[in-house]
Chain A
Amino acid sequence: MARESDRPGGRSAGPRGRYSRAALTFTALSVLVAIAFVLSLSIGPAAAGLGALFGQLTGGEADIAILIMREIRLPRALLALMIGATLGVSGAALQGFLRNPLAEPGVIGVSASAALGAVLAIYSGLSASVPLALPALAIGGALVAVAILQVLSGGRSTLTLILAGVAISSIAGALTSLALNLSPNPFAAQEIIIWMLGSITDRSMVHVALAAPFIVVGVAMLLATAHRLEALTLGEEAAIGMGVDLKRLRLLIVLGTALSVGAATAVSGVIGFVGLVVPHLLRPLVGHRPALLLPVSGLGGALLLLVADILVRLVTPGSELKLGVLTALVGAPFFLWLVIASREGGVP
């Protein structure tokens, strides 16, 4: 992958070749996402395969199989799909807008701040009486983080952005830990691991219903910026010359990221590196065009998270790994490579 990113593939090909390659990428990813979605539904500890579901629709056994599908595996697969797409799209959008290859909701502390909001909502008992408080506070947390980053990353320095992200993540992580430790519930303190590494085990349709509207609106806002981000690749002046309203663009990015990442983190905890890895892997395949990269990254993110969530069930059945463990195992070395590459001035 490194070689491919160093030598952008689209540049040598003509426009036609570029589009057909992008179309191929789209189609392939869509098919893979569909396959992964079905796989996710059919894999689980109960060995209630799809065959059992459709085989004996009359018996009591099928009843249970349907219940397991509808109430346990379907929400899980839907969440992996939506959260993965959120992370992919927001990663691509943030990288394009901040013109910074290391930008990603996890790395720059947006996810951690959203997790803090979610933890405050759940463990204070607020979300038990007002369910909407959960996504609302998580989105609020994400909004604060994006706002701080907007102020701090004015200089466009990679270092500033990452350092600000580290600081925001640390503060949010410490406050999350504090909030969990103050809970009277003896299990709360141990749950820091769920919030730091993410999990979508045993979520229900209630979670899907809570997160989906915000994720859909947020991702739609981000996708709407695709063409403006493309103009921005030519520089701010050129973009303004082409009629891009930078203030409006900023607003869309900030709100879109906060809404989608906030709602996603509220139900899954922090899942890192998806938004970092996916756009980088796919960028050469769509000719480095943000207009194509955003939707493709959404598909790629969904695929990555669906696969990761299948793997956590297969690798250590019984005591599932946290999702973030897998994404970090893939993403953190990639992040290191990006840091080294950017130090040498060879950022793709």
Chain B
Amino acid sequence: MIDSSAGAAHSGSGTVKRLVACAAILLLAGAATAEADGSVHQSQRKPQHIVSLNLCTDQLLMQMVDPERISAITFLARDPRTSAMAGEARRLPVTSGVAEEVIALRPDLVLAGTFSTRQTVSILRRLGYRVVEFEPETDIAAIRQNMRTMAAAVGEPERGEAMVAAVDRRLAHVPPPSGRRPVYADYDANGFTSGSGTLRAAIAEVAGFQMLGERLGFAGPRQIPLEQMLVEQPDIIDPGEAYAGPALATQIVHHPALRRLMREQKVIDVPSAYTTCGNLRSLRALDILLQARREL
């Protein structure tokens, strides 16, 4: 039903017609709900006006479908610090994830993360839009899972399987870890380092490393004091990328004690853009870590 009213609006050119169409969407929304809740596979036509509300679905979507089918991604996808596809994202329209913006785009499929834009998702669901949600990718299995979910949602199952196969091919070529697992510590702004249950830890494990946070026995990212960093002496230190503009949070990298540690240990840079979300570009993080392991 939404599809049909969206079509009507396309044929019209005046503001009035668009307003009428919008009103129609609102009126029909309630009736459309039941249909929208139907299974992903039931949709005959491939969605042509896809809106993504989450940084991670942004990137998976861009890797899976032609740009013409993407109505909008999030503004976050354009930030090279968090997005591995900032360049590609600049060529697409973006939203800040507010329901009004999304409705104005008349999407036939909305992709969202389970942890972001909750209010928007609930409004869109109430209005009858088809929303598919994705868990954050915190390990390799979740990457495969989300690739398949996305492929089914956008109607590109072959492309999805090809992407999963690409991931598996790359993993199959990783040399098996031998001997002691060297310790890898990221040390980002405010002294945050990754523990278990993060995508970074999962990729580091594939590459034969142990995250410092895992060794210290915590899950997720956590702040650790500079002193602890010095005591632990991780084999590889990843101080994170420089940020635009100074802040105390990022000045810690310049602390003389950390500087000295970084002179003594190996320093690498696995951009957080590769590990914030799990997709084909995350394999680049694996490449950097494997390179580091060879050089140790």
Residues of A within 8 A of B (CB): 44-48, 64, 67-68, 71-73, 122-123, 125, 127-128, 183-188, 190-191, 194, 202, 204-206, 318-319
A-B pairs with beta carbons under 8 Å apart, 15 shown: A45-B224, A67-B230, A68-B227, A71-B255, A71-B256, A72-B226, A123-B246, A127-B246, A185-B245, A185-B247, A187-B190, A187-B243, A188-B245, A191-B248, A202-B255
Interface centre among B225, B227, B244, B260 (most CB of A within 10 A): B227
Interface status of B249 (Cβ within 8 A of chain A): yes
Which of A44, A46, A128, A205 meets B246, CB within 8 Å? A128
Q: For A123, list chain B residues within 8 Å (CB).
A: 245-247
Closest to B243 in A: A185
Taken together as a complex, chains A and B put the C-alpha atoms of A319 and B249 apart, in Å, by 14
Taken together as a complex, chains A and B put the C-alpha atoms of A123 and B255 apart, in Å, by 17
Residues 221-244 of chain B, each 1 if its beta carbon lies under 8 Å from chain A, else 0: 011111110110100000000011
Interface status of B174 (Cβ within 8 A of chain A): no
5 tightest CB-CB pairs across the interface, nearest first? A46-B227, A187-B249, A71-B257, A185-B245, A184-B245
Rounded to whole Å, the gap between the CB of B190 and the closest CB of chain A is 7
Interface status of B102 (Cβ within 8 A of chain A): no
Taken together as a complex, chains A and B put the C-alpha atoms of A318 and B195 apart, in Å, by 15
Q: For B89, list chain A residues within 8 Å (CB).
A: none
Complex contact A64–B231 (CB within 8 A): yes
- A71-B255, A187-B190 known; A202+B223 contact, CB < 8 A: no
Q: For B249, list chain A residues within 8 Å (CB).
A: 185, 187-188, 190-191
Rounded to whole Å, the gap between the CB of B185 and the closest CB of chain A is 15
Complex contact A68–B230 (CB within 8 A): yes
Complex contact B223–A319 (CB within 8 A): yes
Taken together as a complex, chains A and B put the C-alpha atoms of A46 and B224 apart, in Å, by 10
Determine chain B's interface SS by DSSP, over half rule: helix
Interface status of B189 (Cβ within 8 A of chain A): yes
Taken together as a complex, chains A and B put the C-alpha atoms of A346 and B109 apart, in Å, by 73
Interface status of B252 (Cβ within 8 A of chain A): yes
Complex contact B256–A206 (CB within 8 A): yes
Rounded to whole Å, the gap between the CB of B227 and the closest CB of chain A is 4
Q: For A206, list chain B residues within 8 Å (CB).
A: 256
Rounded to whole Å, the gap between the CB of B228 and the closest CB of chain A is 5
Taken together as a complex, chains A and B put the C-alpha atoms of A205 and B255 apart, in Å, by 9
Taken together as a complex, chains A and B put the C-alpha atoms of A190 and B192 apart, in Å, by 15
Complex contact B246–A122 (CB within 8 A): yes
Taken together as a complex, chains A and B put the C-alpha atoms of A226 and B249 apart, in Å, by 40
Rounded to whole Å, the gap between the CB of B240 and the closest CB of chain A is 11
Complex contact A194–B227 (CB within 8 A): no
Complex contact B233–A64 (CB within 8 A): yes
- A187-B190, A202-B255, A204-B255 known; A122+B248 contact, CB < 8 A: yes
- A45-B225, A64-B233 known; A187+B247 contact, CB < 8 A: yes
Complex contact A125–B257 (CB within 8 A): no
Taken together as a complex, chains A and B put the C-alpha atoms of A68 and B228 apart, in Å, by 9
Complex contact A125–B246 (CB within 8 A): yes
Q: For B226, list chain A residues within 8 Å (CB).
A: 72, 202
Complex contact A186–B243 (CB within 8 A): yes
Taken together as a complex, chains A and B put the C-alpha atoms of A46 and B244 apart, in Å, by 31
Taken together as a complex, chains A and B put the C-alpha atoms of A191 and B256 apart, in Å, by 22
Closest to B242 in A: A185
Q: For A127, list chain B residues within 8 Å (CB).
A: 246
Taken together as a complex, chains A and B put the C-alpha atoms of A64 and B228 apart, in Å, by 10
Within 8 A of A (CB), among B62-88: none
Q: For A318, list chain B residues within 8 Å (CB).
A: 222-223
Complex contact A67–B225 (CB within 8 A): no
Interface status of B250 (Cβ within 8 A of chain A): yes
Complex contact A68–B231 (CB within 8 A): yes
Rounded to whole Å, the gap between the CB of B102 and the closest CB of chain A is 24
Residues 249-268 of chain B, each 1 if its beta carbon lies under 8 Å from chain A, else 0: 11010011100100000000
